[in-house]
Amino acid sequence: MTTPADLLIVDIGTLVRPREPQRGVRQRDLCRVERQMALSIKDGRVVAAGPEPELRRASVGARIVSAGGRLVTPGLVDAHTHLLFAGQRAHEVALKARGATYLEILAAGGGILSTVRATRGASDGELLAQTRARLGAAVAHGTTHLEVKTGYNLTPAGELHLVSLLEELRREGPWRLTITFLGAHALPDEYRGHASEFLQELQRVHPQLVGHADFVDIFQEQGVFEQEEARPYLEDARRHGLPIKLHVDELADGGGAALGAELGATSVDHLAHTGPAGVDRLRDSQTVAVLLPGTSGYLNQGPHAPARALLEAGVSVAVASDGNPGSSPTVALAPLLPWAASWLHMEPEELWPAVTTIAGAALRCPEAGRLEAGDPADFLVWETDDYRVPCYQYGTSLVDETYIGGRRVAAGGHPLF
């Protein structure tokens, strides 16, 4: 029996194929590690994954590509980034070295607000060029699907315009892009002391987001937007059919994880200070916990998220880069895998679903991060044959080749597009 494949990937030393999250199934048990496999592809989608001799016999006429006995995994899914911005904030390195905290820098007009000034002052062409370069680098280091948030204009019209720029980048590809409206990223100077009024202004944009943005997000944190301000804002987004996400408990346990679970958020993100009550509420919900170890590690001013407590409670845990210009200045998810293992105390079998299928669930994209029949043929070839090594060796991503839709789009850390 032949299989209608036009591409066959052979000589796969190790194939990692995580399953999507399932209630009652431990996260580590979602990770399938298979040996001596092949991958057949037709029109950019997976036809089958199976033993190489069987697929060689079945895939008559397919172009054959060797993985060289190396590790093959799905493309990584980065479920939390802020890569649409202008400028950089290297001057903050010295401030942090002297002990300035995140909120102190923000209160002095720095942090997010300094990036807002740079982004407001940039042309569309500059914003597109800078973001395009970041997306290309992300793909070259193994990210095939990523979420990008708005949030560095902080006016209703400006944030809506940033959505349109992201739509333009989504059409370009080859990356697969999820768009999140984060107009409520911080309180702009012109609304200082009037947070509720600012959120009411942003709510007027919600009807215009339908069909354009995939999510609405808010930075629900003490000193930014309080729970009583965030709740009506998020409820309004839901009334317009817009799924919601929340930045919560990054700086203190403000009950944000519980709020997200109560409101049916697709994900709650950060969670560095989430306590047992928040973990319990997430346990009884479908909300994904998106952890950002690069941020807590880079800021080095508090704890890491309670990954072990979340996993043991049966909460689906994703890991993302939080790529942004201030608290996690990176574009790549793969190099964070060893730090996620070390700082979050996560095992490789837990991490692979966290950056593939569970991250896809955090974006409501069930195909993302999978390599099942019918899924997009988005996969990576790594410079190792051991699935544990990318979670062990730090400093480089070890990604050698990136394929999106069955097309090789990066090699040796460089885009081919």
Residues 191 and 133 in one domain: yes
The number of domains in the chain is 2
Domain contains 2: no
Residue-level pLDDT at 345:
98
Residues 144 and 291 in one domain: yes
Domain contains 100: yes
E strand spans, 360-406: 379-382, 399-404
Residues 57 and 81 in one domain: no
Distance CA 36, CA 30 (A): 20
Domain contains 306: yes
Q: State pTM to two decimals.
A: 0.96
Domain contains 330: yes
For residue 253, give the DSSP letter. Answer: -
Contact 160, 205 (CB under 8 A): yes
Residues 324 and 350 in one domain: yes
Q: Which residues of the chain have pLDDT under 70?
A: 1
CATH number for the domain spanning 261: value is 3.20.20.140
Residues 22 and 125 in one domain: no
For residue 378, give the DSSP letter. Answer: -
- Count how many residues are written for the chain: 417
Domain contains 1: no
Residues 47 and 116 in one domain: no
Phi, psi of 19 (to 5 degrees): -90, 160
Neighbours of 124 (CB within 10 A): 12
pLDDT per residue as tens digits for the range 256-291? 999 999 999 999 999 999 999 999 999 999 999 999
Residues 114 and 259 in one domain: yes
Contact 281, 258 (CB under 8 A): yes
Last residue of a domain, one of 327, 345, 362: 362
CATH number for the domain spanning 398: value is 2.30.40.10
Residue-level pLDDT at 44:
98
Domain contains 174: yes
Domain contains 13: yes
- Show contacts of 252-260: CB within 8 Å, 24+ apart: 252/221, 252/222, 253/278, 254/220, 254/221, 254/222, 254/226, 254/227, 255/227, 256/220, 256/221, 256/227, 257/281, 257/282, 257/289, 258/282, 259/220, 259/227, 259/230, 259/231, 260/287
Domain contains 373: yes
Distance CA 99, CA 409 (A): 42
User: In this structure, what is the dihedral angle of CA atoms 281, 271, 267, 237, given to the nearest 10 degrees?
Assistant: 90
Last residue of a domain, one of 345, 362, 379: 362
Residue-level pLDDT at 1:
63
> In sequence order, which residues have a C-beta less than 8 Å from that of residue 162 and are 6 or more positions away?
84, 127, 150, 151, 152, 153
Domain range spanning residue 397? 7-75+369-415
**Residue 405 in tokens:** 């839709």
User: In this structure, what is the dihedral angle of CA atoms 66, 70, 71, 74, given to the nearest 10 degrees?
Assistant: -20
Q: What's the Cα-to-Cα distance from 194 to each of 81, 190, 198, rounded to whole Å?
A: 27, 9, 6
Residues 130 and 22 in one domain: no
Residues 291 and 390 in one domain: no
Phi, psi of 403 (to 5 degrees): -115, 135
Residue-level pLDDT at 3:
75
For tokens 């990008």, name the residue: 148
Residues 267 and 138 in one domain: yes
Residues 345 and 376 in one domain: no
Residue-level pLDDT at 105:
80
Residues 149 and 272 in one domain: yes
For tokens 């989430």, name the residue: 274
Last residue of a domain, one of 362, 378, 407: 362
CA count, 13 A, side-chain hemisphere, 210: 11
For residue 336, give the DSSP letter. Answer: G
